[in-house]
Amino acid sequence: MEFENMKETCASSRNVFDGKVLHVFVDDINLPDGARGFREYIKHGGAVAVLPLTDDGEVICVRQYRYAIGRVTTEIPAGKLDAPTEDHREAALRELREETGARCERFTFLGTYIGSPAILDEKIDIYLAEGLCFGETDFDEDEFIEIERIPLATLVEDAMAGRIMDGKTLYAIFKVNELLRRRREGRA
């Protein structure tokens, strides 16, 4: 295994908080040089996100208040998995429909985003949805969301200017922008 000399191993693990979404652990570990250490980290059941792109090059974004940072953010539709065994593609299609009312003809896996690997094991599978048609939204009862169509080029500019701060959204914006560039050049 590459970088085997960097591997840390668990000597013991303690669950110090077991919430509905987050599970906090403190592990005593063996460091690569044989010394002991500890790691505090959070386990999360995983999530999915979708960048819905209209035929006109607009992205269907959601704006919502994020309590942890005390502000409204602009994001792509996303949500946690309902169960650890839930199919990620199906979960992403569900979130797309619930948050935007959209269904799609084409669905492309863009990759997996890991936002803070030093303290959080959450993995977010991200998709591109194209060929959209719209119906009714179905927000969760604790979601208060505004939907907005924003040109992808504007989102790229907003990201470069620091106006978009959500990591999964930044990942998706830049990945889709590059994918579309490669398509235009006949390389994708």
Residues in the chain: 188
pLDDT at 1: 57
pLDDT tens-digit readout, 124-172: 999 999 999 999 888 778 879 999 999 999 999 999 999 999 999 999 9
| pTM of structure | 0.92
Specify the pLDDT at position 19: 95
Determine the distance from the C-alpha atom of residue 170 to the mean position of all C-alpha atoms in its chain, rounded to a whole number: 10
Find the DSSP H helices in the chain.
88-100, 152-160, 167-184
Q: Would you please indicate which residues are annotated as catalytic (active-site) residues?
A: 141
∠ CA(147), CA(106), CA(83), 5° rounding?
Answer: 70
- For 77-117, write each residue's pLDDT tens digit: 999 999 989 999 999 999 999 999 999 999 999 999 999 99
Predicted confidence (pLDDT) per residue in 46-75, tens digit: 999 999 999 999 999 999 999 999 999 999
Q: Is the pLDDT score of 76 beyond 70?
A: yes
Model confidence band, residue 45 (pLDDT cutoffs 50, 70, 90): very high
